[in-house]
């Protein structure tokens, strides 16, 4: 049995539920998806500052739960805390944005990100660059205007999002469309028939990538830039995180 932690660094439990359903829909037999919602932070991370905070919370969450799973997915498009988590913990950790983009790379030359709020653009663009994939990105398309109900934006704005996807294909020469952002989890499957190129659901992609990494059984680096940092004292951090930093969590 493979246990994959679906780590939602947002405090919205309803998004965790939505993502859990999309992940379970593609899980292999024998995979158990373990949902976890952030105990502190903001309801929906949407900017660089919120990602800085949410990424630190993700590390706290992993410090508490990493021992009980085989792999983890950071379930927020933008991948807050991903690289730090990959460095600090021994299990494979996959970012939702990362997984979606890498899957898209196998389906075409350039992917477009389509998302529901203009505020997300800069953070997502930084994320594409962080992964070294700017050359594979055809652009980012965002809905204009305020989002009334983040949790229901996939339903409220389905037609508008499909229209953005179409423009990404026709005007930006995207070969693949990624429907980006936790509130859009599961939408790809529903609208695939209405978009002329492959559409990637990030949380589904992340779950499959986590399964793939578990099957490949990569060892934890003890050299290179993702080896675990040396033990260190700390002040004022949550116990589990302080213990992980101090290497007190190892018998």
Identify residues 117-176 at the interface with a copy of itself (CB under 8 A): 119, 121-122, 126, 129-133, 135-136, 169-170, 173-176
Which one of 144, 148, 230, 251 is in contact with a copy of itself (CB under 8 A)? 230
Between CA 17 and CA 5 the distance in angstroms is 13
HSE-CB at 148 with a 13 A cutoff on CA atoms is 4
Contact map string, positions 46 to 85, toward a copy of itself, x by CB under 8 A? xxxxxxxx-xx--x---------------------x-xxx
Q: Per-residue DSSP letters for 116-184? A: S-TTHHHHHHHHHHHTT-GGGEEEEEE--S--S-GGGHHHHTHHHHHHHHHHHHHHH--SEEEE-SGGG
Choose the binding region for a copy of itself from 13-21, 151-159, 178-186, 211-219 (rule: CB under 8 A). Answer: 211-219
Q: How far apart are the first and last CA of the chain?
A: 25
Tokens 């993502």 label which residue? 19
Q: Which is nearer to a copy of itself, 58 or 154 (CB)?
A: 58
* Residue 114 sits in the site that holds a copy of itself (CB under 8 A): no
Q: ∠ CA 78-81-87 to the nearest 5 degrees?
A: 130
* Residue 224 sits in the site that holds a copy of itself (CB under 8 A): yes
Which one of 3, 14, 35, 105 is in contact with a copy of itself (CB under 8 A)? 105
Q: Which is nearer to a copy of itself, 160 or 228 (CB)?
A: 228
Which one of 127, 201, 203, 240 is in contact with a copy of itself (CB under 8 A)? 201
């Amino acid at each position: 049995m493979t246990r994959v932690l679906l780590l939602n660094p947002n405090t919205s439990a309803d998004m965790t539920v939505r993502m859990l359903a999309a992940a379970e829909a593609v899980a292999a037999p024998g995979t158990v998806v373990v949902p976890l919602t952030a105990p502190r932070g903001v309801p929906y991370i949407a900017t660089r500052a919120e990602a800085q905070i949410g990424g630190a919370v993700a590390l706290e969450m992993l410090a508490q739960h990493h021992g009980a799973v085989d792999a983890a997915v950071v379930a927020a498009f933008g991948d807050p805390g991903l690289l730090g988590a990959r460095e600090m913990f021994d299990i494979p950790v996959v970012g939702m944005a990362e997984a979606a983009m890498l899957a898209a790379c196998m389906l075409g030359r350039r992917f477009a990100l389509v998302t529901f709020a203009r505020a997300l653009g800069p953070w997502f663009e930084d994320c594409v660059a962080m992964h070294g994939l700017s050359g594979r990105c055809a652009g980012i398309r965002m809905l204009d205007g305020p989002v009334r109900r983040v949790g229901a934006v996939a339903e409220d704005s389905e037609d508008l999002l499909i229209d953005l996807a179409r423009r990404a294909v026709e005007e930006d020469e995207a070969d693949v469309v990624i429907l980006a952002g936790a509130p859009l989890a599961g939408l790809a499957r529903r609208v695939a028939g209405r978009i002329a190129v492959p559409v990637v659901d990030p949380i589904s992609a992340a779950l499959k990538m986590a399964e793939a990494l578990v099957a490949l059984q990569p060892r934890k680096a003890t050299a290179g830039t993702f080896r675990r940092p040396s033990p260190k004292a700390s002040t004022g951090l949550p116990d589990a995180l302080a213990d992980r930093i101090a290497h007190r969590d190892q018998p």
